Structure 1
Amino acid sequence: MDSVVPPFWGPDFDELSSTDPEIAQVVLGELDRLRAGLQLIASENLTSPAVLAALGSTLTNKYAEGYPGRRYYGGCAQVDQAETIGLTRARELFGAGHANLQPHSGASANLAAYAALVAPGEKVLAMELPHGGHLTHGSRVNFSGRWFDAVGYPVRADTELIDYDQVRDLARRHRPKLIICGATAYPRLIDFAAFRSIADEVDAYLMVDAAHFIGLVAGGAIPSPVPYADVVCATTHKVLRGPRGGMILCRAEFAERIDKAVFPFTQGGPLMHAVAAKAVALREAARPAFGEYAAQVVRNARTLADGLAEAGMRPVSGGTDTHLALIDLREVGVSGRDAEARCELARITLNKNAIPYDPQPPMTASGIRVGTGCVTTQGMTEPQLRVVAELIARAVRADPATVAGTAELTEIAGAVTELVAEFPAYPRPVEYSR
């Protein structure tokens, strides 16, 4: 194997390499991919070596159905400590009355919130998927749309922003039991106070799906939904930079309902190695350096959006306030699917994405979504993001069906390799433990 393994992987990787070289090669191949290209998927990031250590620990062996002090199995003294530490850190970091770190994913956290707050068949009001929402916000192919009476709110056609008066009108008309705010492709800040007012007016619960932006909240880069929401669901990866998994924050009055909705209603035993890794990430997010990181993520996203705009690629809503930007490619004449494929050839990883009122089907899409969490972790700032914007703009316009386009994409890939060589993924432990 030619790949250089990060020094913090140690003898455990040597064991994997000797006992299962096929999987070891896949792991090294992924490391090479991370190091060789630009990672701009808005829902991805690089965890620290400390998080990886917890994920690869002996805690994975322990079955621990239940909660600290109330397990169905013996031998849980150590995992009880890990979970208790993580819960304390979550409550303190976000100022929440209660926390639950057991959900396996953001979708699992959302499912538990539904189970705690509403019954099948009751009305739910949430952002429409084509306008930036999530599958778990009422999509007909998801439990949320099959088990609940989901009503969607769009963004305005002229501003591509949430129209809070329209949300209020829909709430008054449909009287939902639960209102959800939060999105996967909405680049602007959400007015949580407005949603709280609307929910109170129609006697609805308010759930905030903060999966995408909870890391920015942790770093103080954007306002927190916790003071306004009954329940906040989130992932622990993305900008929060922890392991893949879910988390729920809520008011103390909902603690018992949330806990029972996670276990035993929707899940069995928790993944205790993941819970411990979440605790590690929460400690990292409480440090001053993480606040600096979160602020830089937003600055980088704005720089990237502005750079793409200068290259003739329109940012939806005119820009971004968060870690992501949604880019309309219709004026360029390239679909999101083709743009994603072309950028992949240039070693730029991003994703096609529907834009509001998109004339194209979702698997084609008229836009792309870009995020700056990962490149910011690698140390890039505004000067590098201006270069990234130029490289994306060139790649999107390069047609690989032509000789000139293929040559252009090869040249861009070389420029990407040179750029990321200055900011490598996992260079050495000190870069990620500060």
Structure 2
Amino acid sequence: MTVEALSSAYQTLLSAIEAVEPRIAAATRAELADQRSSLKLIASENYASLPVLATMGTWLSDKYAEGTVGHRFYAGCQNLDTVESVAAEHARELFGADYAYVQPHSGIDANLVAFWSILAHHVETPALAEHGVKGVNDLSDADWEVLRRRFGDQRLLGMSLDAGGHLTHGFRPNVSGKMFHQRSYGTDPETQLLDYDAVAASAREFKPLILVAGYSAYPRRVNFAKMREIADEVGAVLMVDMAHFAGLVAGKVFTGDEDPVPHAHLVTTTTHKSLRGPRGGMVLATKEYAADVDRGCPMVLGGPLGNVMAAKAVALAEARTPAFQDYAQAVVDNAQALADGLLRRGATLVTGGTDNHLVLIDVRNFGLTGRQAEAALLDAGIVTNRNAVPGDPNGAWYTTGVRLGTPALTSRGFTTSDMGAVSDMIADVLTSATARPTKEGKPGKARYDLSADVVETTRAAAAELLGTRPLYPGFTL
């Protein structure tokens, strides 16, 4: 189908929506306009293809399909069986996995499926009802202590939030930090790189059931062969969360020891981010854990979203092409070019650079907090997100860092030659922004000043660059 035909189809679709609720149609059009007119540098965002987006808007969303292929709790699921089978087939072939489970609605759901599958495989799980508890929201800290003891006081060792890990890797306010007696490993204080010897020492002392590897804000590659060696030494299950870099694995940029699938017992991921599919999750597993993961519904999940599983199948089919491999390599090349440009302008980068898809700026030398830097950049049309850095003095809300990623701009066709201009825009804004003092005369963590001239100049430069790299070229609404 041509882009013109797709444009016509979407126009008809939005007209139908507008007739029912015009505010939703208006917001949908505005979102496309905003995305087209801003430099999207959020590392966890991307642009799905028009076929992937179109696949989500079908009647496949109207069918309940709890259970698994050929074993559903509802009748009439033959077409959903086809959808799930095709998506799982593409996932297995793309990643070289024994088993793929494509039902999770998100990355967090995928991690919960993996955690409970490991517990089910290794530990007898008690029912909450035995403790007189209706649901997890009723559990106090003392209740969780009781449950953890009943689980055998199972332990989880994951990357700390400030070192680049994710909140589902044992962060205490998250359910992963309540399910397990958890401990975090960080990075070397000097190099900010993973210290595998230190991780091994912590694992020997702590003896976790699960060793979690993977990251959401670590700008370097990980040696998963070494992580498996550590897990094997202490008898742990190696679980890798590759949500951020799944596209780099699918695109064969990360191979050998940097590809988690041959080394981990279970691998979880989102299907958006660098994989460029719909928002959703997925679990890859060895044969040993396949039966446990297959019980994700009803163990953790409700009915799978048939329309999203279908969109996953389309995105995974796209990722099996040589063009996607070129894209994945370009993502990394662009990130390194962006880092080089920022270093040239005097920015401080966590680990001193990057060799994956993301760059993490420590904004202290600009006199800003992460929240101020994020807001100032947004004023100038550059969309990023604030992020903690190792040993962050401002905590997880205000932060001291800003995280940048290149998957989305690369999808628009940006090249390494464009990244110098992008890094200059970022540096110009951060250099010009100033923290606004509080009433007490101390530097504020949230307020800032940025001149209108800098905003106007940056937006104009961004618009010129974006005009040469249109989003969905030829597509009109």
Secondary structure of residue in 2 paired with 1:184: coil
Partner Cα distance (1:52, 1:236) in 2: 13
Q: Equivalent of 1:379, from 403, 413, 421?
A: 413
Partner of 1:348: 382
Partner of 1:309: 343
Map 1:252-271; keep pairs closer than 5 Å. 252-260=287-295, 262-271=296-305
1:215 aligns with 2:240: no
Conserved in 1, the CA contact under 8 Å of 2:376 and 2:450?
no
Partner of 1:107: 108
**Cα deviation code 1:63-105 (max 9, x no counterpart):** 1111111111111111111111111110000000000000010
Map 1:13-412; keep pairs closer than 5 Å. 13-118=14-119, 120=148, 121-223=153-255, 224-260=259-295, 262-399=296-433, 405-412=451-458
- Paired AA for residue 43 in structure 2: A
- Paired AA for residue 283 in structure 1: A
- Paired AA for residue 383 in structure 1: S
CA shift in 2, pair 1:403/1:276, >3 Å = closer
Conserved in 2, the CA contact under 8 Å of 1:6 and 1:426?
no
- Where does the alignment leave 5 or more consecutive residues of structure 1 unmatched? none
- Paired AA for residue 469 in structure 2: F
Moved more, 167-176 or 6-15: 6-15
Please report how far the alpha carbon of residue 399 of structure 1 lies from its aligned counterpart in structure 2 after TM superposition.
Answer: 2.9
Conserved in 1, the CA contact under 8 Å of 2:42 and 2:385?
yes
Please report how far the alpha carbon of residue 6 of structure 1 lies from its aligned counterpart in structure 2 after TM superposition.
Answer: 4.1
TM-score, normalization: structure 1? Answer: 0.95
**Cα deviation code 1:188-225 (max 9, x no counterpart):** 01010001001110111000000000111000111211
CA shift in 2, pair 1:429/1:97, >3 Å = farther
- Paired AA for residue 204 in structure 1: A
Partner Cα distance (2:9, 2:322) in 1: 24
CA shift in 2, pair 1:427/1:147, >3 Å = same
In our comparison, the structure showing a higher alpha carbon Rg is 2
Secondary structure of residue in 2 paired with 1:44: coil
CA shift in 2, pair 1:404/1:219, >3 Å = closer
Partner of 2:143: none
**Cα deviation code 1:312-364 (max 9, x no counterpart):** 11111111111101111112222211111111011000011111111112221
- Where does the alignment leave 5 or more consecutive residues of structure 2 unmatched? 1-5, 124-147, 437-447
TM-score, normalization: structure 2? Answer: 0.87
Partner Cα distance (1:105, 1:403) in 2: 37
**Cα deviation code 1:94-150 (max 9, x no counterpart):** 000000000010000101111011354311111011111111111110111112101
In the comparison of the two structures, how many residue pairs are matched?
Answer: 425
Partner Cα distance (2:116, 2:389) in 1: 31
Moved more, 399-408 or 143-152: 399-408
Please report how far the alpha carbon of residue 418 of structure 1 lies from its aligned counterpart in structure 2 after TM superposition.
Answer: 1.5
- Paired AA for residue 103 in structure 1: P
CA RMSD, aligned part only?
Answer: 1.6
Conserved in 2, the CA contact under 8 Å of 1:312 and 1:332?
no
Moved more, 76-85 or 400-409: 400-409
Q: Kindly report structure 1 stretches of 4+ aligned residues shifted beyond 6 Å.
A: 400-404
**Cα deviation code 1:144-197 (max 9, x no counterpart):** 111210110010011101100001001110111110000100010101000100
Conserved in 2, the CA contact under 8 Å of 1:116 and 1:258?
yes
Partner Cα distance (1:251, 1:352) in 2: 36
Please report how far the alpha carbon of residue 397 of structure 1 lies from its aligned counterpart in structure 2 after TM superposition.
Answer: 2.0
Conserved in 1, the CA contact under 8 Å of 2:276 and 2:315?
yes
Conserved in 1, the CA contact under 8 Å of 2:91 and 2:316?
yes
**Cα deviation code 1:6-26 (max 9, x no counterpart):** 445142222112221110011
Secondary structure of residue in 1 paired with 2:191: coil
